[in-house]
């Protein structure tokens, strides 16, 4: 019962996600979100909570709707293919939309004022979760002999994600998909073989 919503919550969240993706947490004002969603301020608050909550919801959606290529990547048979797919997927996503180049998980915010610390911690945790998935996949590869016994799965996972983060920075700076792909190729050329 009660008066029904006149806007679609998922649509509003998607529009919100796009703004945070482009401008980051601190660079996004509630006025921006009102303009992007077409939803008035109090309606956004009642649907999502405050700016912190809205950002967390957007990050969650980003992971499930855009960052899912990581899960497909880890399902490959060879660890080298996994590494390559993560980087190629990052390049593709980071250059897919001209108006929001780069990665939400990076653009969202690295440094900022104390008021935005919560959003940055959420991003750090989000990236760490992805790293854990990748590390476990490489541990499995080493057990299976797909990686040499002296390879360090934790270092390899952190390395691949470091390259992905660097690619995200460069994508936001306007690097072409071709150049970023060449960087990804160079990155996996260091891949160890059993």
Partner DNA sequence: AACATTTCATAATGGTTGTTACGTAATGAC
Partner DNA sequence: GTCATTACGTAACAACCATTATGAAATGTT
- CA pseudo-torsion sign 157, 89, 137, 81: negative
Q: Whole-angstrom Cα distance, residue 61 to residue 81? A: 26
Among 7, 61, 67, 66, CA closest to 37: 7
Q: Does 114 bind DNA (CB under 7 A)?
A: no
Is 28 a binding residue for DNA by CB under 7 A? The answer is yes
**In this chain, which of 70, 86, 122, 164 binds a second copy, going by CB under 8 A?**
164
Q: Which does 4 bind (CB under 5 to 8 A by kind): a second copy, DNA, none?
A: DNA
Q: Does 80 bind a second copy (CB under 8 A)?
A: no
**Count of CB atoms within 10 A of residue 178's CB?**
10
Cα torsion 128, 129, 130, 134: sign? positive
Q: Does 66 bind a second copy (CB under 8 A)?
A: no
State which H helix or E strand residue 35 sits in: helix 30-37
Q: Does 24 bind a second copy (CB under 8 A)?
A: yes
Q: Looking at residues 137 to 166 of the shown chain, list those that interact with DNA (rule: CB under 7 A).
A: none
Q: How big is the CA angle at 36 (ends 92 and 21), to the nearest 5 degrees?
A: 30
Asked if residue 63 binds a second copy (CB under 8 A), the reply is no
Under the rule (CB under 8 A), what is the footprint of a second copy?
Answer: 21-24, 26-29, 32, 102, 106-113, 116, 124, 127-128, 152, 154-156, 158-159, 161-167, 169-170, 172-175, 179, 182-183, 186-190, 192
Site for DNA, rule CB under 7 A: 1-7, 28-32, 39-43, 45-47, 50-52, 113
């Amino acid at each position: 019962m009660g008066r029904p919503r006149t806007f679609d919550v998922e649509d509003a969240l998607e529009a919100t996600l796009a703004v945070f993706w482009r401008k980051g947490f601190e660079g996004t004002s509630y006025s921006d979100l009102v303009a992007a969603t077409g939803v008035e301020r109090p309606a956004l608050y009642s649907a999502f909570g405050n700016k912190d909550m809205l950002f967390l919801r957007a990050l969650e959606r980003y992971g499930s709707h855009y960052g899912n290529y990581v899960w497909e990547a880890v399902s490959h048979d060879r660890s080298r293919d996994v590494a390559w797919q993560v980087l190629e997927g990052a390049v593709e996503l980071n250059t897919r939309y001209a108006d929001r180049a780069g990665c939400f998980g990076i653009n969202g915010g690295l440094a900022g004022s104390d008021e935005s610390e919560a959003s940055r911690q959420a991003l750090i945790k989000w990236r760490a979760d992805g790293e854990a998935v990748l590390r476990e996949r490489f541990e499995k590869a080493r057990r299976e002999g797909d990686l040499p016994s002296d390879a360090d799965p934790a270092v390899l996972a952190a390395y691949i994600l470091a390259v992905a983060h660097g690619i995200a920075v460069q994508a936001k700076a306007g690097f072409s998909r071709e150049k970023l792909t060449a960087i990804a190729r160079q990155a996996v050329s260091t891949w160890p073989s059993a």
